[in-house]
Amino acid sequence: MDVIAASEAQMRTLLCALAEKGEGKLRRKQLIEACAAQLQLDSSDESPDSVFTRTKNRIGTILTALIHAGYITESEAGYLRLQELPRPHFSAFEVREFILACLAGGKTAGKQELFQHAEKQFGVNATQSRDDNNALRSTLGQELTALQNEGSIKKLSRGYRLASEDKYPATELGGFLREAAHGGDLKHCFLEAIHTKGGEWFEAYSVNLLRAYYQMTGKQVDAGAVTGGSNDGGIDGIIHTTDDLGYRETILMQMKNRHAVMTAKDVREFYGAVCAEQGSRGIFITLSSFHPEAQKFIDKVDNLTGMDGDKLFEIAAKCHVGLLEQGGKLCIDEALLLNT
Contact call for residues 83 and 105 (beta carbons, < 8 A):
no
What values do phi and psi take at 126, rounded to 5?
A: -65, -20
Smallest CA-to-CA distance from 204 within 6, 58, 15 is with 58
User: Mean of the pLDDT values across residues 84-108?
Assistant: 75
> Distance (Å, rounded) from C-alpha 237 to C-alpha 219?
18
Burial class (CB in 10 A: 0-12, 13-18, 19+), 169: middle
Contact call for residues 42 and 53 (beta carbons, < 8 A):
no
pLDDT (0 to 100) of residue 87: 47
Contact call for residues 168 and 151 (beta carbons, < 8 A):
yes
Residue 36 has pLDDT above 60, yes or no: yes
Cα torsion through 304, 309, 311, 314, rounded to 10: 150
Contact call for residues 112 and 50 (beta carbons, < 8 A):
no
Residue 309 Cα distances to 135, 258, 316, angstroms: 36, 10, 10
> Distance (Å, rounded) from C-alpha 190 to C-alpha 125?
42
User: What separation, in Å, do the N-terminal and C-terminal C-alpha atoms of the chain show?
Assistant: 22
Choice among 83-97, 109-123, 224-238, 326-340 with the minimum mean pLDDT: 83-97
pLDDT (0 to 100) of residue 71: 77
- pTM tops 0.75, yes or no: no
Cα torsion through 52, 57, 58, 64, rounded to 10: 150
Burial class (CB in 10 A: 0-12, 13-18, 19+), 245: exposed
Q: Tell me how crowded residue 272 is: count the other CB atoms within 10 A of its CB.
A: 13
Most trustworthy range by pLDDT among 56-65, 75-84, 106-115, 237-246: 237-246
Q: Beta strand 281-286 with 248-256: parallel, antiparallel or unpaired?
A: parallel
Residue 2 has pLDDT above 90, yes or no: no
pLDDT (0 to 100) of residue 8: 66
Residue 17 has pLDDT above 90, yes or no: no
Contact call for residues 118 and 136 (beta carbons, < 8 A):
yes
Any bridge partners for residue 325, and if so which? 330
